[in-house]
Structure formats: C-alpha cells, structure tokens
C-alpha cells in the first residue's frame, strides 16, 4: 500500500519533470527566443543584446533549464517581460480568481451530475433519461464559446437579467467578483455536468446488469434498498477518476470561457501572455496547468485506493 | 475473381452500414455530416454573393428576402459566409484526423507489441503531453509558426494523436496474448509484419471510433482558435471567426452570430452522433472513455 502510493507519487513527479522539459525545449526549438518574440521588429542590435543579457539568454540552454527549474522548484517563476513584475505576483491573483470560478462550478456540477446520472440510469430509455441525455449531448459537444455566447445573448441581452461580461479588474475582492461569476459558472458547469453524467450513467447501468445485482433482485431485496446498498457504492467508485479527468480536461475549456466573459482569471492570462509573446509567463502557466492536471489525477488515484481496497493488492495499472 | 474472404468483408461492411442507419442517432448524425461535406465542396458554386465584398450601404441588415440571414457589420451576406464558413475547418480537421490516426495508431500498436523499456518511455512522454492543456500548446505553435493550413494540419494531427496512442495500445494488449499472435511470432514474422497482418485488423475498429471522436474535438479546437483570433485570418469566412466578430454587436444584430452558431453546432453534434452510432455498430463501448 505504502509502496503503491510512493510509486504513484514518483510517476506524477516524472510527468511534471517531462512537462517542464517539453515546454522548455518547445520554446527553445521554435524559431526566435523570448527577446525576439517580445521585441519583434525592434529586435536588433543593442536593445536585443540588453534584453538577452538581462534574461541570461546568452548562457547555454541546459544551464538555463537547470536554473529555471531549480527556481521553479522553490516557487520562483522569474520575471514577466511585459509587466516587468515577478510572475508569481501576476499569477497568484489570477489563480485565486480562477479557483473561485472552478470551485463554484465543481460544487454545483459534481452533485448535479451524480444525481442526474443516477436518475438517467435507473429510468433508462424512459422519458427522464431521453430528455436529460439529449440535453447532455448538446451541452457536452457544443464548443464552450458557443454556449457562453448563447448564454450572454439570451440571459444578458434578451432577458436582461444579469451582466453579460465581467468588467471588474483582476485585483478586486471576492465580494466584487461574486455577482459576475454566475454566467461563467453556468457555462462551465454545464459542460462538466454533461461529461460526468454520461459516465456515471453508463457505470451504474453496467453495475445494474452485473451478476450480484441480479442475485439481489432474485433474492427479493427491495428495489430502493438494492439501489442504495448494492448498486451505488460500486457504481459511483469510478466516478472519482472520471471527475478528475473532467476537471483536468476543463482546463482548456476554461480558457475560452474566461475570454468570452472577460473574466480576469488564469485563462485570460494565457491569451494575454501569448498575444504579448511573453514567453516566460507562458512557460510558467504551462507548468502550473500541468501541475494542476497531475495533482488532480494523483489525488483521484489515491482516493480510489483508499475507498476501494481491492485495488491495493494489484500492481500499478498503467 | 471474388473470393470468400472478400464476400465476408463486404457482408460485414454492409451490416455495419445498416446497423448505423437503423439507429435514429446514426441516421441523423450521418445525414448532417454528409450534408455539411457536400455544402463545403459545392458552396463556392451556389452562394448568391461574394463572401468578401464589403458594402457600407447595407451594414447589419436584418434577414430579408434579399439577404435571407441578414448582413454583417461590413455589409457582407451572412448566408454566403455561413455556407462557406466550414470549408477551411473541415479541410484542416479532416486531414489532421488522418495524421492523428496514422501516427497514434502505429505508435500505440508498436508500444503494445514490444512492451518493456520502449513502451515505458513512450507512455511517460505521452502522459506528459496529456498534462499540457491543448489550448496552450496550440496557441504557442500558432503564434510562433503562423496560422496557415500547412502548420495547423500537422500541429493538430500531432497533438490529437497522443490520445489515440493509448487507445491503440490498450486494444493491442487485448489481443496480444491470443494464440494467433504467438503463432506469428513462432513463425518468425517481423514486428512490422505482425503489426500489419495480425494486429491492425483487430485494433482498427477501436482506433477508427477514437479517430471519429478526435475529429469532433479537433473541430472544437480549430474553431476555438479562430474564435480567439488565432485561427484563419479575415476575410476568409470561418464560423469561429464570424461568431467572434458578430459577438460585440449581437445586442442589435443577433442574426450575424445565430447562423454560424447553428452551422458549427450542428456539424459537431452530427460528428458525435455518428461516432456514437459507429461505435455501437462495431460493438465498442466508448462512454467509459475519459475526455482527454
């Protein structure tokens, strides 16, 4: 058990290490460097030399990678080119804003997905299932920017209930942000709920048709007792990993949603830093997003190990 | 000469096709996709106006007999642009999917077959690539290499192939322990021969379904890039770009966003329904698959 956990941690660490190498070499191999990318047409002669000198771009790549990753390990991500501020300072506010959005969406999305997943599985192919499943396919497949645009058009413009875009600055307090997050949260949790719901549904249907549930049925266990005691515990176990993967997958979708609503979170910072060709910030963001992805998956893996003793004796199933 | 083998192949193909079209979702899905492909091919011949002609006298006209979907902020016909708006997206994502299926399928089968150290190393690298959000990777590539189709096709194809590697590898693991693989190994066939003759026919179904799914995600990625201003450049008509251009004015000219929204959504839903029906016809359960 202890060894298994250590092994998982080790794998997570290796993934993060590889991500940092990929990002670094990616930025390195692509033509130009941080300075030519940022300075663009002015990038010649003295200005370029000064910029390179400041960023230490004249030293060999391996040396720069080592110092970058060493500093990142201790939480120092370097300086941004455009703001000339420490990247930590820029990112921490954005992380907070995005967390508010994500946590609210998760708190709404997960219980909703589990309840709807159970409902659709138990009433399989009946009216509630067909209705909810169809809606889920729509909200899952339609790109985030389209559902967000439709939400703004209907709720903000035609019905005039809520503000369509966020106009607060990134440093505003939580209370100032709160009324603005309603629409983005709806947009994000819609996609998330749809994904999880479908997988919870198919898990439960699978368990319902398993031998031991058939056995319980034949034994004459009352329906609801059977559902709550025999079906749900096993049917919901895989949901932990599904939730983790959905959250991780949403990291991409949140970027688009934040841009549509003009929400000052990590996602908009991604677009801003890329438009500004601010490669140090881009590097830092990629590292942070990868860290979230690996972290969420790791927690899910460990959680499954804790609640499902059967997995503990198996080898690492990768 | 038609031999027994070919007859059984044809029979299976016709069974799959009948099975797809006997489901309402498959019927609707495939009809939508085929309609979109036909429109994309013939649209330059049938559109009523020039897609790039700017006319300041007819800006933001509501839908009428003359312009059935209205006009946009530059006086261009929304109907014309909507019909043509899927051409680049379909072209790029179609060839991107082919590349993704080809390299992802091959690497996945190869890793599944040889196993050991090579497999471990490749899978760790794939894991690392999975941890980088698609949007960040695509944006970085596009910003530095440009947004031409020659860049987008291989970039999307490479980035979306990594998920196929896992599917192909898992499907290979399912058949690798069977006797006919052992027999081929015992006969002394090369790895390449085993992959081509023994594994590929068994893994193909799973990879094709996964490829159909990747197609819809790739389309989503492509149109998101256009929407964010990192995709095709104006005045090329593209749905993502049209929605982002019309978005600011939709409080009084909603028609310029509604048409591309319906077009893009219907195509993506169509592909998803088709992929689902296709999977069910082949007997593959893909609801368990995580959206990576």
Give pLDDT, residue B130: 80
Give pLDDT, residue B288: 47
Q: What is the pTM of this model?
A: 0.83
Please provide residue A79's backbone torsions phi and psi, each rounded to the nearest 5 degrees: -110, 145
DSSP state of B62: P
Q: Would you say residue A211 has pLDDT above 60?
A: yes
Q: Would you say residue A294 has pLDDT above 60?
A: yes
Give pLDDT, residue A158: 81
Q: Which residue bears the tokens 């830093």? A: A273
Q: Would you say residue A268 has pLDDT above 80?
A: yes
Residue of A nearest to B170 (CA): A318
Give pLDDT, residue A167: 66
Which of B228, B240, B272 is closest, CB to CB, to A141? Answer: B272
Task: Locate the domains of chain A by residue range.
Answer: 2-73, 96-317
- Residues of chain B short of pLDDT 50, as ranges, are 288-292
More confident residue, A28 or B259: B259
Share the mean pLDDT of chain A. Answer: 78
CATH architecture of the domain with range B87-236: Orthogonal Bundle (1.10)
Q: Would you say residue A210 has pLDDT above 70?
A: yes
pLDDT digits (tens, 9 = 90+) for A86-106: 777 778 888 888 888 888 888
Give pLDDT, residue B100: 92
The count of other CB atoms within 10 Å of the CB of residue B152 is 28
Q: Would you say residue A47 has pLDDT above 70?
A: no
Instruction: Write out residues 274-303 of A within 8 Å (CB-CB) of B.
Output: 274-275, 277, 282, 285-286, 289-290, 293-294
pLDDT digits (tens, 9 = 90+) for B21-33: 887 878 888 888 9
Instruction: Write out residues 95-114 of A within 8 Å (CB-CB) of B.
Output: none
Residue range A134-152: average pLDDT?
84
Rounded CA-CA distance B198/B35 in Å is 36
Q: Would you say residue A289 has pLDDT above 50?
A: yes
Please provide residue B77's backbone torsions phi and psi, each rounded to the nearest 5 degrees: -70, 120
Report cis status (omega within 30 of 0) of the bond before B235: yes
Tokens at A47, concatenated: 């200005």
More confident residue, A35 or B208: B208
Residue range A56-75: average pLDDT?
71
Give pLDDT, residue B45: 80
Rounded CA-CA distance A203/A121 in Å is 9
Residue of B nearest to A275 (CA): B143
Nearest C-alpha of chain B: how many angstroms from A240?
A: 12
Q: Would you say residue A318 has pLDDT above 60?
A: no
Q: Does A195 touch chain B (CB under 8 A)?
A: yes
Residue range A53-57: average pLDDT?
65
Instruction: For residue A242, give the H/E element and its range.
Output: helix A239-261
Residue range A115-129: average pLDDT?
85
More confident residue, A164 or A183: A183
Domain covering A96-317 in this structure, CATH number? 1.10.3720.10
The count of other CB atoms within 10 Å of the CB of residue B124 is 16
Q: Would you say residue A146 has pLDDT above 80?
A: yes
State the complex-level ipTM.
Answer: 0.79
Contacts of A199 in chain B (CB under 8 A): 287-288, 290
Q: Would you say residue A316 has pLDDT above 50?
A: no
pLDDT grade, residue A171 (50/70/90)? low
Most confident of A49-53, A194-198, B60-64: A194-198
Q: Provide CATH 1.10.3720.10 ranges for chain B.
A: 87-236
Q: Does B139 touch chain A (CB under 8 A)?
A: yes
Give pLDDT, residue B97: 92
Q: Does A243 touch chain B (CB under 8 A)?
A: no
Rounded CA-CA distance B238/B244 in Å is 10
Give pLDDT, residue B99: 93
Contacts with A1 (C-beta within 8 Å, 6 or more apart), sequence order: A305, A312
Give the closest residue to A4 by CA, choosing from A305, A294, A310. Answer: A305
């Amino acid at each position: 058990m202890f060894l298994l956990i250590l092994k998982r941690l080790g794998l997570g660490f290796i993934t993060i290490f590889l991500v940092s190498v990929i990002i670094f070499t990616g930025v390195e191999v692509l033509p130009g460097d941080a300075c030519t990318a940022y300075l663009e047409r002015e990038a010649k002669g003295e200005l370029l030399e000064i910029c390179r000198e400041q960023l230490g771009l004249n030293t060999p790549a391996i040396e720069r990678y080592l110092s970058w990753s060493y500093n990142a390990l201790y939480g120092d991500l370097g300086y941004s080119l455009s703001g000339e501020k420490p990247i930590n300072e820029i990112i921490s506010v954005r992380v907070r804003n995005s967390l508010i959005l994500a946590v609210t969406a998760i708190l709404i999305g997960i219980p909703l997905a589990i309840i709807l997943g159970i409902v659709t599985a138990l009433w399989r192919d009946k009216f509630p299932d067909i209705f909810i499943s169809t809606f889920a396919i729509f909200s899952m497949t339609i790109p985030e920017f389209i559902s967000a645009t439709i939400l703004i058009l209907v709720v903000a413009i035609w019905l005039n209930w809520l503000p369509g875009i966020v106009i607060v600055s990134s440093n505003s307090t939580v209370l100032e942000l709160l009324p603005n997050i309603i629409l983005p949260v709806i947009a994000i949790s819609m996609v998330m709920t749809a994904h999880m719901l479908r997988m919870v549904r198919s898990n439960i249907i699978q368990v319902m048709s398993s031998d031991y549930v058939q056995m319980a049925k034949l034994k004459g266990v009352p329906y609801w007792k059977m559902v709550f005691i025999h079906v749900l515990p096993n049917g919901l176990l895989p949901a932990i990993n599904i939730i983790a993967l959905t959250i991780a997958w949403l990291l991409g979708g949140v970027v688009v949603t934040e841009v549509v609503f003009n929400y000052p979170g990590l996602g908009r910072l991604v677009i801003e830093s890329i438009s500004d060709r601010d490669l140090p910030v881009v590097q830092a963001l990629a590292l942070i997003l990868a860290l979230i992805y690996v972290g969420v998956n790791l927690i899910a893996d460990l959680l499954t190990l804790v609640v499902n003793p059967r997995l503990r004796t198996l080898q690492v199933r990768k | 000469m038609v031999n027994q083998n070919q007859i059984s192949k044809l029979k299976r193909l016709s069974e799959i096709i009948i099975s797809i079209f006997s489901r309402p979702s498959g019927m609707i899905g495939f009809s939508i996709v085929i309609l979109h492909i036909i429109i994309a091919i013939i649209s330059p011949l049938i559109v009523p106006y020039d897609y790039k002609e700017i006319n300041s006298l007819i800006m933001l006209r509501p839908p009428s007999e003359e312009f059935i979907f209205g006009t946009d902020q530059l006086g261009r016909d929304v109907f014309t642009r909507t019909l043509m708006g899927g051409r680049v997206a379909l072209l790029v994502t179609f060839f991107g999917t082919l590349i993704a299926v080809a390299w992802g399928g091959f690497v996945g089968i190869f890793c599944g077959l040889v196993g050991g150290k090579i497999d471990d190393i490749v899978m760790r690298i794939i894991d690392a690539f999975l941890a980088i959000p698609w949007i960040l990777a695509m944006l970085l590539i596009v910003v530095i290499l440009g947004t031409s189709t020659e860049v987008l096709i291989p970039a999307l194809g490479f980035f979306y192939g990594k998920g196929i590697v896992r599917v192909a590898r898992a499907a290979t693991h399912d058949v690798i322990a069977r006797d006919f693989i052992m027999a081929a190994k015992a006969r002394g066939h090369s790895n390449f021969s085993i992959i081509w003759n023994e594994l590929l026919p068994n893994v193909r179904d799973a990879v094709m379904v996964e490829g159909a799914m990747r197609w819809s995600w790739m389309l989503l990625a492509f149109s998101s890039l256009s929407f964010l201003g990192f995709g095709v450049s104006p005045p090329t008509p593209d749905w993502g770009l049209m929605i982002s251009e019309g978005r600011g004015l939709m409080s009084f000219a909603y028609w310029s966003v509604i048409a591309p929204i319906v077009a893009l959504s219907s195509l993506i839903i169509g592909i998803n329904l088709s992929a689902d029906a296709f999977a069910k016809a082949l007997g593959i359960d893909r609801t368990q698959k995580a959206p990576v």
